[in-house]
Structure 1
Amino acid sequence: MLLPRDVIGGHGAIEKIGEVFFKITNSKKAIIVTGKTSAEIAGNRAREILESSGITVNMILTEEATDENVEIVKEEAKEFDAKVIIGVGGGTKIDIAKKSAFDLGIDFISVPTSASHDGVASPRASIKKNGLSVSVEASMPAAIIADTEIIVTAPFRFLASGAADVLSNLTALKDWSLAHRLKGERVSSSAYAISEFAAKEIINNASDIKPNLEESVWLVIKQIAFSGIAMSVAGSSRPASGAEHMFAHSVDTIKKGNGLHGELCGIGSIISMYLHGGDWRMIRDTLQKIGAPTRLDQVSLKEEDAVQALMMAHKTRPDRYTILGESGLSEIAAREALKVTEVL
């Protein structure tokens, strides 16, 4: 079990990247994985600070989180003899960085420029293989540097999506408990408690998550970090990924709509909570307070596509037992769930 040694947040936090780097390693070489836009936002500044601290930096500009791009970063890192890979950007750049670091057995530092999902702090990465996104094991960040001055400039939609992703832990935990009762799956009480705490913090502070407020960014980032820690303690994504994530991955597979990962998990959580017989209205109301989508039309998803996604969702993780069961939802059950929860 690996946990972050440092979670640095606040206005101007990126200025501490050199100090954080030397807490992790004695090496004076670093790889920065970023994109063109992310480099302009934060990557170039990170490089300047590291170089002023005597660290030699190799910056790699990349795009999609694919197997091919991971291999490119790994080859560069090996040739450079880097001991730390720093991911600067949104989800894809951080996924490439932490998967590369995991494969090489070296440390990874997460420097998010947005917070649209819990991937900035989790030991999992979403990597495209043959055109499909696959969740794979990756490095837990040795450190997270969340500069609220930078993250607050991203569209608020991203922050609301990140909050929705953490909120959806509630239904992931219900699925975990269900798998324990019906399949004898082991549940870590510590991981369960940490994940639940993060979700409840989002519920209790939903009205304070607003645009253009650095305090809102830090509030959400902290819960994202707790969510990642819960996964590391559990040794899997179970505390933060259940049927609601299967729905999100299923929508991604059929390539419909324009919903962000966290947004789809939020909508999926409404549906999943209904299937569990829980308080789905509380999930919906919290999402509305945050400013995250609660209806299909808000993510440009048609009813037929949502029905298809729900019916095939169980196939995205056949090894993971959830409220969807082993054979999935019937068309009638899928349509009923969408109708009753007013997701349509």
Structure 2
Amino acid sequence: MAKKVHIPIQLIIEHRAIAHLFKTKVYDWIRDQKVALISGSGKTRKVTEEIIDVISGQASAIQVMTCEDNTLDTINELERKVLEDTPDMIFGVGGGKALDVSKVVGTRSNVPVVLFPTAISSDAICSPVAVIKMLNKSTSIGVKMPQGVVIDLDILASCPPRLMSAGIGDLLSNKSALFDWDLAHRAGKEEMNTFARLMANNAVDSFLNVLNREEVDPSRLMKTAAESLIMSGIAMSIAGSSRPCSGSEHLISHAMDYHCGAKALHGEQVAIGVLFAQHLQGKREKVERLLPYYEKLSLPTHYEDLGYTREEMLRAVRKAPSMRNRYTIFNEFELTDETIDKMLDEVYPDHARNRYQLTGSSAG
């Protein structure tokens, strides 16, 4: 039986994408329509002003709201403002938090959303999932996919390298996540959507193919990373869950958030989790090792570079299996503290320290 899948109607990834917005279908959508912009703070405000300059002659009314954080209180307040004078479309502008909040507000108020990412630090740029804070804890909830995504490569190029690293960390995790999904399927725990699996795997391979070229064009690599993260989001929409892009490595990151203070960006923590997950997965069968790519991309290879202690990392791995009712490689082993402690030495050796700098974390 065919399944109805929601994906964006318009995807624009180019240099000067905002300046050229008037040439696109997105511009046609807002003719004589009311537009609400949900914008991150900081540098994102400048991007928001650029968008307003372009659409001011096309939209009938423009309302600008600031997203300070991704808490439920902020979401409720923004939804109240939207419902007081319901717009025809919401433009979400900013980093992961602003995009997630825009998706939640759009879903709850039944208003279509177009996203304008100012960074690609995770696959939040186009996914049916949003991360919000409830009772000071991060929680993933289902949302409608955006109607369109507009990515200005000139804006991405000006972002701190750390944000790009986090996005690539989130992208590479598809490999370990798909291993876990295969494992769950063989164990009879979950159905496998082979099309979603193919898309999530191809998203990573497309990026790695560009990375493996003799001469790597940074602009091309950035564009491919954005395209691949969007493909990952669509894979999740096809699967009806985050399974194609979230496995044991994400459970480790969630445990780092819940039990160790959430000291780094999501994608950075996931990148660290991938290394442990693949180490464990390699004990069951041959896996595609990603560490050589970490070194080429300057991704974090040691938890201490993200501000975590050995005790915290041990706790994160120990708590990871309980973070979600999801069958992963963790279900194949009985891991004692002693075993985990030994594995930490194997996965994160001393020489892997001091290769990554925690600077430039604001996504606007």
Give the TM-score taking structure 1 as reference length: 0.93
Local SS of the residue matching 2:11: strand
Question: Which portions of structure 1, spanning 4 or more consecutive aligned residues, are displaced by more than 4 angstroms?
Answer: 22-27, 207-212, 278-281
Q: Amino acid of the residue matched to residue 33 of structure 1?
A: I
Which of 332, 340, 343 aligns to 2:346? It is 340
Following the alignment from structure 2 to structure 1, what is the Cα–Cα distance between the partners of residues 344 and 128?
32
Deviation of residue 41 (structure 1)?
3.4
Deviation of residue 254 (structure 1)?
2.4
**Is 1:315–2:322 an aligned residue pair?**
yes
Deviations 1:200-232 (A, max 9, x none): 223333357999943232121010111011001
Query: Which range moved further: 120-129 or 27-36?
Result: 27-36
- Matches for 1:1-344 after TM superposition, within 5 Å: 1-17=5-21, 19-22=24-27, 24=29, 28-206=33-211, 213-256=218-261, 258-277=263-282, 282-318=289-325, 320-325=326-331, 329-342=335-348
Deviations 1:245-294 (A, max 9, x none): 11111111124463211111111111111111156782111112111101
Deviations 1:151-204 (A, max 9, x none): 110101111211111111001001111111113411110000000011122333
Deviations 1:41-68 (A, max 9, x none): 3111112212122341111012110111
Following the alignment from structure 1 to structure 2, what is the Cα–Cα distance between the partners of residues 210 and 130?
48
Following the alignment from structure 2 to structure 1, what is the Cα–Cα distance between the partners of residues 78 and 213?
39
Local SS of the residue matching 1:64: coil
Local SS of the residue matching 1:183: coil
- Unmatched tracts of structure 1, length 5 or more: none
CA distance 1:166–1:11, change in 2 (3 Å) = same
Q: Amino acid of the residue matched to residue 9 of structure 1?
A: I
Contact kept in structure 1, 2:32 and 2:58, CA below 8 Å: no
Following the alignment from structure 1 to structure 2, what is the Cα–Cα distance between the partners of residues 232 and 257?
27
Across the aligned residues of Structure 1 and Structure 2, the Cα RMSD in angstroms comes to: 2.3
CA distance 1:104–1:87, change in 2 (3 Å) = same
Q: Amino acid of the residue matched to residue 336 of structure 1?
A: K
Following the alignment from structure 1 to structure 2, what is the Cα–Cα distance between the partners of residues 99 and 296?
31
Deviation of residue 40 (structure 1)?
3.0
Percent identical among aligned pairs is 27
Local SS of the residue matching 1:191: helix
Query: Which range moved further: 221-230 or 325-334?
Result: 325-334
Query: Which range moved further: 48-57 or 228-237?
Result: 48-57
Local SS of the residue matching 1:339: helix
CA distance 1:103–1:196, change in 2 (3 Å) = same
Deviation of residue 141 (structure 1)?
1.6
Following the alignment from structure 1 to structure 2, what is the Cα–Cα distance between the partners of residues 12 and 214?
13
Following the alignment from structure 2 to structure 1, what is the Cα–Cα distance between the partners of residues 338 and 235?
35
Contact kept in structure 1, 2:123 and 2:233, CA below 8 Å: yes
Q: Amino acid of the residue matched to residue 110 of structure 1?
A: L
Deviation of residue 330 (structure 1)?
2.5
Local SS of the residue matching 1:15: coil
Figure out how many residues of one structure are paired with residues of the other and give that number.
343
CA distance 1:158–1:332, change in 2 (3 Å) = same
Deviations 1:288-337 (A, max 9, x none): 2111101112212111100000111122212x111112997421232233
Following the alignment from structure 1 to structure 2, what is the Cα–Cα distance between the partners of residues 210 and 70?
44
- Unmatched tracts of structure 2, length 5 or more: 351-364
Give the TM-score taking structure 2 as reference length: 0.88
Deviation of residue 24 (structure 1)?
4.7
Local SS of the residue matching 2:331: coil
Contact kept in structure 2, 1:208 and 1:216, CA below 8 Å: no
Contact kept in structure 1, 2:210 and 2:216, CA below 8 Å: no
Following the alignment from structure 2 to structure 1, what is the Cα–Cα distance between the partners of residues 144 and 213?
31
Deviation of residue 148 (structure 1)?
0.4
Following the alignment from structure 1 to structure 2, what is the Cα–Cα distance between the partners of residues 293 and 281?
18
